[in-house]
Structure 1
Amino acid sequence: MTSQLPVDATTDDPDVLAAYRTDRAAFCPSGTPRALVRARSLDDVVETLRWANENNVPVVPQGARTGLSGGANALDGCVLLNVEKLDQILEIDVEEQIAVVQPGVINGTLAAAVAEKGLYYPPDPGSKDISSIGGNVATNAGGMCCLKYGVTGDFVRALQVVLADGRVMRTGRRTAKGVAGYDLTRLFVGSEGTLGVVTEVTVALRSAAARPLAAVAFFDTMSDACRAVADHLGAGFRPAALELMDAATIEAVGRMRDLGFPPGVGAVLIAQSDAGTRAPEELAAFEGSARRCSATEVIVSDDPAEADLLMQGRRLVGLALEQYPASLVDDICVPRRNLAVLVDGIERIAEEHGVTIATCGHAGDGNMHPAVLFDLAQADAAQRAFDEIMRLGLKLGGTITGEHGVGFLKRAWLARELDETALWSHHQIKQALDPRGILNPGRVINSTATGRGENDQRSF
């Protein structure tokens, strides 16, 4: 039956299928796919979805598979529709400050290409050198510069999307403004491949910012560092990045690269400013906030190369945590006023469940990534700790995911965050755009609009 899929793009080789079965999320199930389509054209995507819809075969859209929520994992009998080969930058319009790209373009590749023309693409997830624009759109990815510039969705102007039945739709527009009709672009951004497959993205760009400078502050406790975040932002400053790492994270990264941090540090807060001639003033203000909040030491650099090295150290966190036998990476975001309460609670949860939790994240956004680190004998305790962190985040007025997406890993928790009417709306939108339920089934939402149990693992 799969012979009707795009011939030159399709394989059912077991070894190849095994290599594409999962993303980077731990402890998310993956099934055995029937075929992999590595799309090289819009027609490949259209033909695949048309065939799958007619034959009621589930389709799991994939990009670079760098996700951390199991949203790209295979299902038994599914077709994996991978768009990483759709990797062309189609246009960079300097005058209009936009770029048109295919979904397989790597974030860092786009950033470098527009930089050559004096432009800047701000969204910069920690995985920017390996994650694709399509994946960034699918999860509405954020990153380290979100505090000042915003997330992926703030830069997406228009999309080309293939619907479940193979029809092609364009949403949005190239112009800076436009409110004709419903905002369908925003609907697809963050939908994690459950409503359609994105095949083209038009993004807004900015004029190139000055090469950033940075400062780093050391603290005995995470809560002191969180107080410094509130102090600095409360004074009206908006640095390009404000990143936080706890002792366990510093230790993990230190095994890969000597960061030159003092021994015994409980927390590190890194501020980055790209304000050009005003950068020294911004960083001096950051130093003042840090010292008022019990920083043990503050180092302000006037060397952009040193600033780059500091941020590279922060970007190594994901790779550094892969040294551990297993991990569950949380992605909660809380109001900044509750950040200190959150990190204190995470430390308590780690102690209660006897696991190590390495916490880092985008402190300026209140978006933390606590990673439960454990060996397989601690799997049950690790899962309980993971759930407790999400429960705490919701209790503090936050969300279960700031940028990684719901996927499979957190779908049972979505019903706890959304009210019943909101969850009903999700189901109605899904039904309207994918009535046969073939697109990434079992991801994001469960089968009932009123389920509240975190162990409810029914598919949509």
Structure 2
Amino acid sequence: MLIDDLRRELPADRLVEDQDVASGYLHDEAEWAPHGKPVAVVRPRTAEEIQAVVRACVRHGVPLVPRGAGTGLSGGANAVDGGVVLSTEQLSAIREINPLERLAVVEPGVVNDDLRAACAEHGLWYPPDPASAPWSTIGGNVATNAGGLCCVKYGVTRDYVLGLQVVTGTGELVRLGRRTAKGVAGYDLAGLMVGSEGTLGVITEVTVRLRPLRDPEHTVAGYFSSVVDAGRAVSAVAAAGLTPSALELIDRHCLAAVDQWKNMGLAVDADVVLLGRTDAPGAAGEREAAAMLECFEQAGASWAARSTDQEEADALFAARRLAYPALERLGPVLTEDVCVPKAAVPEMLARIEAAATRHDTLIANIAHAGDGNLHPLLITPPGDDDARVRAQRAFHEIIADAIDLGGTVTGEHGVGLLKRDGLAGELAEPVLDLHRAVKAALDPHGILNPGKVIP
């Protein structure tokens, strides 16, 4: 039996026997994404132990679901019936920070913010910063190609992954990618793994590119009477040729929820707040902040100003990061993650408002607005099945609208379970066939996170 094999192959404490403990590994944070009942939950501590688990699953034909911190929002880490959940949380070592080469080598269970803090001690910075950075792990960030607030200027996780160590679907432990600044030998298999959501291999080590620490940022805040007006300001910033280090949208619903939870004194006289930052050095930063302020004002801000209070500015950005957990306290939250061209941001926000009205659903809005990545949060009262059905209809309508405007069904959360139909709507059938061919080549036994991503 598989369980007997795992007991033989692994130290005794790697297999989770307590069902109450195991129940915490059944699903991620995606509301209403289905999950199954696994036969085992394992928490290995080495790459070799992960390899042993994969090989045991291959021998017994048992599905394997890799899992990081479980902060995902698409159901990508949800357990499947009769399978094994493999948590990488115990592989949490930062093995190397190399200031000369500007890289770090980490195990997949390293928490994003912990890596950033360790790099700062060397005058270096790891840019990808999802809102879940205080809890999410690098392995999960790589698996979903996570983004964050800084991505408008600095890119997403894929832009920082140099190399990976991975256990393949056949149980081989291999190294992909490189440590050098340049390298084009062979196919970019490391890049292929980024964003594959555990369907092509299990990540056991990550080598990431680092940047020097940034100059202090200048913050610009603007209040708007509607999300559409705020969207026009976003388009104006892009049209002005500005590349802010962050450009975030947060609406009144989100601010009120955060304030109610954390008592941060965030009550503002606006329906929407737009937060812009620039980290350009010296006089260039002053000019960019002034130009951003002008864009806000010309787009119809009821109030806009450069922040002279760093504590106040940091509080507003902290509220942006806390918006999702704050709203969760009000009831189930179905989270969208569509991304559209920057020019289409105003129209997409208008369509989200229309969907909220049409389906009688409360939709709060947060967004990495500067790169067109919008996160409508569909909130329903606990136990209200009719509201749930309406919210799910709005969810699918928003996906269709994003595709219609030349966008994508997911900017950073991944496809998982919730967006599989959306992916089928976004990609042509021949392209989906390419996905299936890659999956078959790298996971010939079909054990790695089956049923996720590819429709």
8 A contact 1:53–1:438 mirrored in 2: yes
Q: Does 1:276 align with 2:277?
A: no
How far has the Cα of 1:109 moved from its partner?
Answer: 0.3
Spell out, residue by residue over 1:139-172, the C-alpha distance to the aligned partner (whole angstroms, 9 max, x if none). 0000000011000000000000101121011111
In the alignment, is residue 36 of structure 1 matched against residue 45 of structure 2?
Answer: no
* Corresponding residue of 1:79: 84
- Corresponding position of 1:413: 422
Quote the residue 2:335 is aligned against: 329
Amino acid corresponding to residue 364 of structure 1 in structure 2: G
Q: 2:452 aligns with which of 438, 443, 451?
A: 443
SS of 1:316 mapped into structure 2: helix
1:285 matched residue in structure 2: 291
- Say which SS state the counterpart of residue 66 (structure 2) adopts: strand
What are the residue-to-residue correspondences of 1:373-412 with 2, within 5 Å? Answer: 373-375=379-381, 376-377=383-384, 378-412=387-421
Please, what is the CA RMSD of the aligned residues?
Answer: 1.3
Cα gap change, 1:263 to 1:239, in 2 (>3 Å): closer
How far apart are the structure 1 equivalents of 2:302 and 2:150? 26
- Residue 215 of structure 2 aligns with which residue? 210
Q: Is the 8 A contact 1:12 1:34 kept in 2?
A: no
- Note the C-alpha offset of 1:195: 0.3
Aligned match for 1:197, one of 196, 202, 224: 202
Counterpart residue identity of residue 31, structure 1 = G
Instruction: Report the count of equivalent residues.
Output: 446
Look up the match of 2:188: 183
Q: Which amino acid aligns with 2:404?
A: K
Counterpart of 1:42 in structure 2: which amino acid? A
Q: Contact (CA 8 Å) 1:213, 1:307: kept in 2 or not?
A: no
**Alignment-derived partner of residue 93 in structure 1:** 98
Contact 2:234 2:369 in 1 (8 A): yes
Deviates more, 1:248-257 or 1:366-375: 248-257
Deviation at 1:30, TM superposition (A): 1.3
Give the aligned partner of residue 306 of structure 2. Answer: 300
| 1:154 partner SS | helix
Kindly state the Cα deviation for residue 39 of structure 1 after the two structures are TM-superposed: 1.1
Q: For residue 457 of structure 1, what is the aligned residue in structure 2? A: none
Q: TM-score, normalised by structure 1?
A: 0.95
Contact 1:212-1:304 at 8 Å conserved across structures:
no
Write the letter of the residue equivalent to 1:302.
T
Given that 2:219 and 2:289 are in contact with CA atoms closer than 8 Å, whether structure 1 keeps it comes out as yes
Given that 1:212 and 1:307 are in contact with CA atoms closer than 8 Å, whether structure 2 keeps it comes out as no
- Counterpart of 1:427 in structure 2 is 436
Task: Give the Cα separation in 2 of the matches to 1:243 and 1:86.
Answer: 33
State the shift of 1:272 in Å.
1.3
Identity across the alignment (%): 48
CA drift of 1:11 comes to 2.2
Higher deviation after alignment, 400-409 or 7-16: 7-16
Give 3-state SS (helix, strand or coil) of 2:318's partner: helix
Partner of 2:11: 7
Shift of 1:373: 0.4
Alignment of structure 1 residues 228-243 onto 2, 5 Å: 228-243=233-248
Instruction: State the AA in 1 paired with 2:366.
Output: C
Residue 357 of structure 2, aligned match among 337, 342, 351: 351
Partner residue, 1:224: 229
Worse-superposed segment, 202-211 or 294-303: 294-303
SS at match of 1:175: coil
Structure-2 separation of matches of 1:243 and 1:210 = 19
Q: CA deviation at 1:260?
A: 4.8
Q: Whole-Å Cα distance in 2 between the matches of residues 414 and 166 of structure 1?
A: 29
Task: Give 1:266's aligned residue.
Answer: 271
- Residue 412 of structure 1 aligns to a residue in which SS? helix
After the TM superposition, which of the residue ranges 425-434 and 297-306 deviates more from structure 2?
297-306
Which of 250-259 and 415-424 deviates more? 250-259
Between the aligned partners of 2:72 and 2:54, the Cα distance in structure 1 is 22
Cα contact 1:272–1:307 (8 A) shared by 2: no
Which among 355, 372, 376 is matched to residue 378 of structure 2? 372
Seen in structure 2, the aligned counterparts of structure 1 residues 151 and 289 have a Cα distance that, compared at 3 Å, is same
How far apart, in 1, do the equivalents of 2:264 and 2:250 lie?
12
Counterpart amino acid of 1:313? Answer: A
Q: Is the 8 A contact 2:256 2:267 kept in 1?
A: no
Superposed displacement of residue 221, structure 1: 1.2
Question: Contact (CA 8 Å) 2:362, 2:380: kept in 1 or not?
Answer: yes
Matched AA of 2:326: A
Q: Name whichever of 246-255 and 120-129 sits farther off.
A: 246-255
CA contact (8 A) 2:278 2:285 kept: yes
> Per the alignment, in what secondary structure is the counterpart of residue 443 of structure 1?
coil
Question: Are 1:103 and 2:103 matched, yes or no?
Answer: no
Q: Do residues 245 (structure 1) and 246 (structure 2) align? A: no
Specify whether residues 263 and 309 from structure 1 end up closer, same or farther in structure 2 by C-alpha distance, changes over 3 A only.
closer
Local SS of the residue matching 1:112: helix
Deviation at 1:281, TM superposition (A): 2.2
1:248, 1:11 → 2: CA distance? 40
* Conserved 8 A contact 2:43-2:86: yes
**Structure 2 unaligned spans of 5+:** none
5+ residue gaps, structure 1, are 447-460
